[in-house]
């Protein structure tokens, strides 16, 4: 239930954060956004304000800036934190791992200490299916349940798992702290208004943003990273989830945290997968995009990308049963919404570079 208090959204100018801020305002919550804008634009927050006819407090602050963060908590009475802020590119994390540990892990520790100082109880963390690594190394772990042993394979994935562990330890030691770990599968799409969406800097790493840039003429062709996997058409399987469904999952997690209390002197801690429960191959996604947009995507099959696994499909039952949340939108909806965002903002939030 929305209260008079505020919800701090770290990384709220980013892709998933901005969509969640929009859903928060629509549901009657009062978000405050903190973001250092290293991978985003303040324009996203401004547009969310425009879409909801509201003014969203925004602070251009790095999470590691202890005084800057403290000032936000001093000014606003914060009841819940949705923690999206962090670096997220798997490949880049292998090149600059210390930056990843510093921003993701150190940033989270400063945030948790500040929450403790101000007695803020609720914490929702943006984790990732990447914490599971290759779940096919075990039998019967596809679709992947939350009990699947973890085993991330990149510095980025390690930071996510380490943060989960820090949160588990912190909740065990603090009866006031309630933690929801949300392990996202593959978020795609954009808000149906076409006003907010994903705006990757440089060459997109992820499949759908790349496909959209090919479709709009910013890139020549899509490279398919391997068609010799054990799947129906040889390409890897992922659980693609519409970003608006994903955003709504955060409201479900907040409601859950409101309804629970810690026990035996400990706080509360629980993990949930946020996915659809259905897998699609790369070719299926490309065909869905072509069907939704009427644009043919030029492509070539090249070798496997290092670190890719064959199947990341969520077992989504826990979120369904305990958070009373499930996805409502389809891959076709996501492709349609991505296309509207891309055609109406072909250069994202900025203008065309000189
Ligand atoms: P994003 O890069 O669009 O958003 C992250 C935001 O955090 C950006 O606006 C960035 O400027 C900000 N930020 C980064 N470091 C910061 C710091 N030290 N202090 C303050 N702000 C900082 O990414 P996204 O796709 O919206 O992802 C949000 C979260 O979800 C991330 O934690 C990511 O790891 C996680 N996640 C994303 C995916 C995905 O495929 N997009 C999948 C699983 C998990
Ligand atoms: C999807 C499929 C590629 C691009 C990553 C992170 C994961 C999570 C989500 C944050 C794969 C294929 C891709 C291209 C291709 N993020 N592909 N050509 O790798 O499943 O997950 O984003 O937590 O941690 O690892 O997503 O979109 O990069 O790839 O063929 O140009 O598309 O091989 O099979 P991925 P993706």
Would you kindly state where each structural domain of the chain is located, as residue ranges?
A: 6-344
Question: Which ligand does the CA of 15 lie closest to?
Answer: 1
Catalytic residue (one of 29, 100, 132, 156): 156
- For tokens 């305990």, name the residue: 322
Dihedral (CA of 24, 26, 32, 34) sign = positive
The string of pLDDT tens digits covering residues 284-297 is 999 999 999 999 99
- As given in the structure block, the two tokens for residue 43 are 């324009």
- As given in the structure block, the two tokens for residue 280 are 């699609």
Peptide bond into 143 cis (omega under 30): yes
CA distance 316 to 96: 33
The string of pLDDT tens digits covering residues 65-114 is 999 999 999 999 999 999 999 999 999 999 999 999 999 999 999 999 99
Give nearest CA residue, ligand 2 atom 36: 206
Which residue ranges have their beta carbon within 6 Å of ligand 1?
A: 11, 13-17, 35-40, 62-64, 84-88, 103, 107, 126, 128, 184, 186-187
- Cβ proximity of 83 and 10 under 8 Å: yes
Confidence band, pLDDT 50/70/90 cuts, at residue 20 = very high
Mean pLDDT, rounded, of the chain: 97
Residue 128 is predicted with a pLDDT of 98
- For tokens 């995507």, name the residue: 297
CA distance 287 to 243: 20
104 CA from centroid of ligand 1 (Å):
9
CA distance 233 to 114: 49
Closest ligand 2 atom, CA of 184? 23
Give nearest CA residue, ligand 1 atom 6: 11
Element (H, E) at 32: strand 30-35
User: Which residues are bridge partners to 78 per DSSP?
Assistant: 6
User: Which residues are bridge partners to 186 per DSSP?
Assistant: 240
In the predicted structure, residue 353 carries a pLDDT above the cut 80: no
- As given in the structure block, the two tokens for residue 180 are 């929801």
User: Which one, of 203, 219, 216, 207, lies nearest residue 344 by Cα?
Assistant: 216
Residue 354 is predicted with a pLDDT of 58
- 3-state class of 223 per DSSP? strand
Question: Does residue 156 carry a catalytic annotation?
Answer: yes
> In CATH terms, is domain 6-344 a member of 3.40.50.720?
yes
- Cβ proximity of 84 and 12 under 8 Å: yes
């Amino acid at each position: 239930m929305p209260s008079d208090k505020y919800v701090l959204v770290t990384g709220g100018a980013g892709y998933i954060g901005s969509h969640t801020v929009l859903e928060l305002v629509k549901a009657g919550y009062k978000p405050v956004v903190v973001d250092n804008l290293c991978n985003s634009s303040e324009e996203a927050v401004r547009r969310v304000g425009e879409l909801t006819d509201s003014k969203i407090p925004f602070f251009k602050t790095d999470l590691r800036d202890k005084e800057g963060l403290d000032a936000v908590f001093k000014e606003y009475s914060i009841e819940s934190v949705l923690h999206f802020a962090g670096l997220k590119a798997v490949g880049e994390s292998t090149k600059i791992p210390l930056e990843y540990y510093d921003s993701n892990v150190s940033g989270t520790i400063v945030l948790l200490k500040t929450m403790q100082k101000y007695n803020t109880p609720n914490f929702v963390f943006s984790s990732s299916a990447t914490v599971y690594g290759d779940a096919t190394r075990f039998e019967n772990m596809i679709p992947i349940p939350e009990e699947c042993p973890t085993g991330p394979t990149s510095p980025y994935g390690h930071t996510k798992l380490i943060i989960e562990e820090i949160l588990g330890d912190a909740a065990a030691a603090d009866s006031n702290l309630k933690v929801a770990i949300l392990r996202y599968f593959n978020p795609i799409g954009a808000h149906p208004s076409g006003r907010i969406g994903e705006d990757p800097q440089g060459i997109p790493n992820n499949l759908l943003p790349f496909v959209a840039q090919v479709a709009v003429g910013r890139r020549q062709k899509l490279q398919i990273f391997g068609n010799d996997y054990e799947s129906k058409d040889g390409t890897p399987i992922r659980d693609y989830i519409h970003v608006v469904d994903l955003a709504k999952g955060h409201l479900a997690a907040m409601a859950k945290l409101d309804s629970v209390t810690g026990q035996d002197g400990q706080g509360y801690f629980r993990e949930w997968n946020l996915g659809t429960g259905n897998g699609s191959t790369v070719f299926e996604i490309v065909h869905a995009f072509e069907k939704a947009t009427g644009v043919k995507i030029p492509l070539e099959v090249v070798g496997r990308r290092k670190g890719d696994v064959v199947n990341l499909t969520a077992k989504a039952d826990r979120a369904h049963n305990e958070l009373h949340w499930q996805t409502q939108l389809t891959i076709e909806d996501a492709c349609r919404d991505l296309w509207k965002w891309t055609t109406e903002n072909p250069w994202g939030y900025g203008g065309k570079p000189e």
